[in-house]
Amino acid sequence: MTAAIELENVSKIFGKFPAVDSLSFRVPRGVVFGLLGPNGAGKTTTIRMIMNITAADSGEIRVLGNPMTRETQNRIGYLPEERGLYRKMKVLDHLLFLAAIKEVSREDARRRIGDWVEKLELKPWLKKKVDELSKGMQQKVQFIATVVHDPEILILDEPFSGLDPINTAIIKEYLSDFRQRGKTIVFSTHVLEQAEKLCDEICLLARSKKILEGNLRDLKRRFSKDMLHLAVDAEPSEIASLPGVATSQPVNGGYLVVLAPGMDQREFLRRTLERHPLRGFSAREPELEEIYLDAVKAAGMEETRTIE
Amino acid sequence: MNWKKVFAVIRREYLERVRTKAFWIATFLVPAFFLGYMAVQFASIRKTSGERKVAVVDLTGHLAQPLASELAEREEARRQKTPGSRGIHWILEPWPVAGDLDRTKDLLRKEVLDKKLYGYLVLDPTLLEKDRAEYYSISVSEFVALEQMERAINAVLLREKIRQQGLSAALGKELEKRVDLKTLKVTSKGATEEKGGGIIAAIVFLAIMYMTFFMYGFQNLRGVIEEKTNRIVELVIASVRPTELMLGKIIGIGLVGLTQYLVWSLVAMNLSLPAIAGMMAMGEAGAPTIPVSTIGYFLLFFILGYFLYASIYTAIGAPFNTDQEAQQLAMIPSMLIVSGMAVYPAVMNNPNGGVAVFASLFPFTAPLMMFLRTAVAEPPVWQIGLSILILLLSTAGLAWLAGRIYRVGILMYGKKPTIPEILRWVRYRPGKALQPAAPTAS
């Protein structure tokens, strides 16, 4: 089966400033894919190019196996970062309009809108004007607008920005629901903790370039540097002087120890036990943020401030 | 072009506007205002009635009596022509000269100020030699009354002169007769009588067109900016092409305008037509007979002109974030529309002259002026054809230009773009990397 989305050497230049620089990545079907990076890394431009809102200067973008067509556009649910609603429209009319421009028949649209407002507790507001809704409720309406045509792919640009905790929880729940039903979800965020919990696959961007891509679990394994957490009572100098320790730092109730290259984990623990009684130990996976910082360092792009 | 999507946009634009209170208020306020205006006019004409007691200082000694009977005769004739109509009833009171004329005038002035007299007339032979008579009154702007008095005096004087020359009174009657100029419009199909109704209708149509270009053209600008400030446009663009959205908006808003005309025509047919007919009967103009060709040309030039101006307004709205920012550039189409009306007198006076030909071919004045020419004269067919062709080409060109600006502009937030920047958007093609500024979000 073809990938949900594929980018090949896609570039976009605004004036002299490259917003996206020969970017390639692949989003397999049925995964949650995170497009990550700090503000200004090129995430929104990339998403807009996938959506065919902005045209790429060079490179190729394929959605569901082909360059974006009108027909594929109707199979995508898009939540832009800059999102709003027609303020004077009634909620139901608004959702019917957004469904109509996705070529959903009026009956289908009515039925689906009915289901969604039931789920999201918006039913009493259907006949109200968007103006009269709280911000949180407007966000729910925007979410329904994104999914009302039952899309195969969801593309969400910073979906959680500006969301209150309750709506964040609701949206996360429905996203995992979508994934269960085999849909593909692509979302961008600059908050790495969110991505860590939700994503199967990620693509890290920094300064318009891709610096890392792949399955999150594989990446964690690749970037784990034999890190151990030791619950032990000892002086920092005693831990640092243990054989095979590259670096160590005190953390809550113990130390976080990175082993020197080539040091065997079991051998290290045996030697440590000879000197200090351990209350416990655990292997620790790197957090996404650490992976990100390492990758940035490896790419020689520590200075994330752009020179303009 | 996906017409299903365009239709969805048209439907939204149309329904959302027609459902607003503002639309219905405007729709009913305009005819109400118009009817009110006519009622005031009507009332003020009817008000020129009642008694006018006027003193006549007749220094000639033999004009006061014939004048009084002349006025009475005219009053009687009018009453027979339209029974029940109220008009002015003149009561002439001969006033002897007491002492010298100035003293008499002083006295009369007081009488007028005390409201005992409406006014006084001085028939002085020395002044009559110079074709002058003097009428004094507190109100000297009652044109209906003044005209009656003037005509009566002229008639009396004419008769008097004929009598002095020893000619027959029958000749006097003949000389009083005036020629009624009957106007006939020459067309290729022959000549038809033009009672003024057709021209009035053409002017009403012209005013409607003029107003629509302004009002509904500007609605396009506001609509575009509103979509930007509401941050809805990107969500829509993900499903609809910018050109489809633009077209849908223009058509939807245009239909709102047409709906308004429909309501107005229905109101006019049911309410104001009897009133207009009544006014026409009082005046000399006949009831308006609107030729089918006028309606046809109206629709044609209305649609062409509306699309032309709507495109310009859309292009001007797209780069900006607030109405205020767009205001300055919005002057351009406004001036162009006004310039169409500025040449109106020249075209009206000489519908086939040089100014008229130019104004009806120049695309920005053509919709209004070519329509006017077809209504009041018969311009050569090649000129009508050329005007339509130029309009079609300019509209297509401007729509294309607007589309290019729109496409880039609707996604631009933040800083107000400069005109050179906007012009660069027109030339921008993906792959050429001419897009000047990065969007605020990336």
Q: Sort out which chain A residues have CB atoms less than 8 A from B1's CB and list them.
A: none
A15–B436 C-beta distance less than 8 A: yes
Q: What is residue B277's predicted lDDT score, i.e. its pLDDT?
A: 56
Which residues in chain A have their CB less than 8 angstroms from residue B435's CB?
14-15
Give pLDDT, residue A202: 92
d(CA A19, CA A63): 21
Q: Does B222 touch chain A (CB under 8 A)?
A: no
Q: What percent of chain B has pLDDT over 70?
A: 85
Per-residue pLDDT band for B8 (boundaries 50, 70, 90) equals very high
Question: Whose CA is closest to B304, among B215, B199, B382, B213?
Answer: B213
When pLDDT is cut at 50, 70 and 90, the band that residue A304 belongs to is very low
Pick from B17, B229, B232 the residue to mutate for testing the A interface (most A CBs within 10 Å).
B232
Residue A227's H or E segment, with its range, is: strand A227-232
Cross-chain residue pair B239–A40, CB shorter than 8 Å: no
- Taking the CB of residue B10, how many other CB atoms lie within 10 A of it? 20
All residues of chain A having their beta carbon less than 8 Å from the beta carbon of residue B230 are 84-87
* A60/B contact by beta carbon, under 8 A: no
Does pTM surpass 0.90?
A: no
Average pLDDT over residues A93-101: 95
* pLDDT computed for residue A68 by the predictor: 86
Contact present, B16 and A89 (Cβ < 8 Å): yes
pLDDT at B9 over 80: yes
Q: Is B437 in the A-facing interface, judged by CB distances under 8 Å?
A: yes
Distance of CA B128 to the CA centre of its chain: 42
The torsion defined by the Cα of B193, B197, B200 and B205, in degrees rounded to 10, comes to: -100
Nearest CA in chain B to A87: B230
Between A110 and B104, whose confidence is greater? A110
* pLDDT for the residue numbered B435: 41
Instruction: Select from A101, A106, A135 the residue whose CB has the most chain B CBs within 10 Å, as the one to mutate to test that interface.
Output: A101
Does any CB of chain A come closer than 8 Å to the CB of residue B123? Answer: no
> pLDDT digits over A19-75, tens only?
899 999 999 999 999 999 888 889 999 999 999 888 888 999 999 988 888 888 899
pLDDT of residue B286: 45
Interface check for A273 against chain B (CB to CB < 8 A): the answer is: no
| Per-residue model confidence as pLDDT tens digits over B207-247 | 888 888 888 999 999 999 999 888 898 899 889 988 899 99
Tell me the shortest Cα–Cα distance from B33 to chain A, in angstroms.
29
Closest CA to A44 of A7, A5, A4, A79: A79
Q: Are the beta carbons of A148 and A120 closer than 8 angstroms?
A: no
The rounded distance, in Å, linking the Cα atoms of B120 and B137 is 7
Query: Given an 8 Å threshold on Cβ–Cβ distance, is A15 in contact with B5?
Result: no
- For residue B274, what pLDDT is reported? 57
Give dist(CA A259, CA A238) in Å, integer: 15
> What is the assigned CATH class of domain B48-178?
alpha beta
What pLDDT digit, counting tens, does each position of B267-312 carry?
766 655 555 555 555 544 444 556 778 888 988 999 999 999 999 9
pLDDT mean across residues, chain B:
82
Compute CA distances A246 → A228, A260, B302, whole Å. 12, 4, 82
Yes or no, beta carbons of A93 and B411 under 8 Å apart: no
CB-based contact B442 A87, cutoff 8 Å: no
Record: contact A51-B238, CB cut-off 8 A: yes
Cβ contact, residue pair B231, A102, below 8 Å = no
Please count the CA atoms within 13 angstroms of the CA of B391 that sit on its side-chain side. 27
- pLDDT of B126 reads 82
Percent of chain A with pLDDT over 70: 97
**Chain A residue numbers touching B442 (CB-CB < 8 A):** 19, 39-45
pLDDT the model gives residue B312: 93
With 80 as the cut, is the pLDDT of residue B195 above it?
no
C-beta neighbour count of A133 within 10 angstroms: 18
CA distances from A39 to A79, B290, B371 (A): 18, 65, 56
pLDDT of residue B370: 93
Q: What residue spans in chain B does CATH classification 3.40.190 cover?
A: 48-178
- The minimum CA-CA distance between B211 and chain A, rounded to whole Å, is 26
Contact B8 A84 (CB under 8 A): no
CB-nearest to B239 from A58, A88, A102 is A102
Q: Give the model's pLDDT for residue B84.
A: 65
Tell me the per-residue pLDDT of A170-207, one tens digit each, with 9 for 90 and over. Answer: 989 999 999 999 999 999 998 888 888 889 999 999 88
**Cα–Cα distance between B329 and B416 in angstroms, integer?**
12
Lowest-pLDDT choice from A28-32, B73-77, B189-193, B403-407? B189-193
Q: How far is CA B38 from the centre of its chain?
A: 14
Is B16's Cβ below 8 Å from some Cβ in A?
A: yes
pLDDT tens digit sequence for B84-96: 666 788 888 888 8
The 10s digit of each residue's pLDDT in B421-437 is 888 777 766 544 334 44
Structure tokens at A9: 């050497």
Q: Which of B230, B233, B235 to mutate to test the interface with A (most CBs of A within 10 A)?
A: B235
Count of A-B CB contacts under 8 Å: 101
Q: State residue B278's pLDDT score.
A: 57
Share of chain B above pLDDT 90, in %: 20
- Running DSSP on this structure, what letter comes out for residue A129? B
A83/B235 touch (CB, cutoff 8 Å), yes or no:
yes
Which of A185, A131, A139, A186 is CA-nearest to residue A160? A139
Q: What is the 3-state secondary structure (H, E, C) of chain B?
A: CCHHHHHHHHHHHHHHHHCCHHHHHHHHHHHHHHHHHHHHHHHHHHHCCEEEEEEEEECCCCCHHHHHHHHHHHHHHHHHHCCCCCCEEEEEEECCCCCCHHHHHHHHHHHHHCCCCCEEEEECHHHHHCCCCEEEECCCCCHHHHHHHHHHHHHHHHHHHHHHCCCCHHHHHHHHCCCCCCCEEEECCEEEECCCHHHHHHHHHHHHHHHHHHHHHHHHHHHHHHHHHCCCHHHHHCCCCHHHHHHHHHHHHHHHHHHHHHHHHHHHHHHHHHHHHHHHHHCCCCCCCCCHHHHHHHHHHHHHHHHHHHHHHHHHHCCCCCHHHHHHHHHHHHHHHHHHHHCHHHHHHCCCCHHHHHHHHCCCCHHHHHHHHHHHCCCCHHHHHHHHHHHHHHHHHHHHHHHHHHHHHCCCCCCCCCHHHHHHHHHCCCCCCCCCCCCCCC
pLDDT at B430: 54
Question: What pLDDT score does A242 carry?
Answer: 84
Chain A environment of B219 (Cβ under 8 Å): none
Instruction: Give the mean model confidence (pLDDT) for residues A250-277.
Output: 84
Give Cα A156 distance to the centre of its chain. 9
- Interchain CB distance below 8 Å, B442 and A84: no
Residue A163 predicted with pLDDT over 70: yes
pLDDT of residue B37: 80
Give the pLDDT of residue B5: 93
In percent, how much of chain A has pLDDT > 90?
44
Q: Give the pLDDT confidence score for residue B342 in this predicted structure.
A: 87
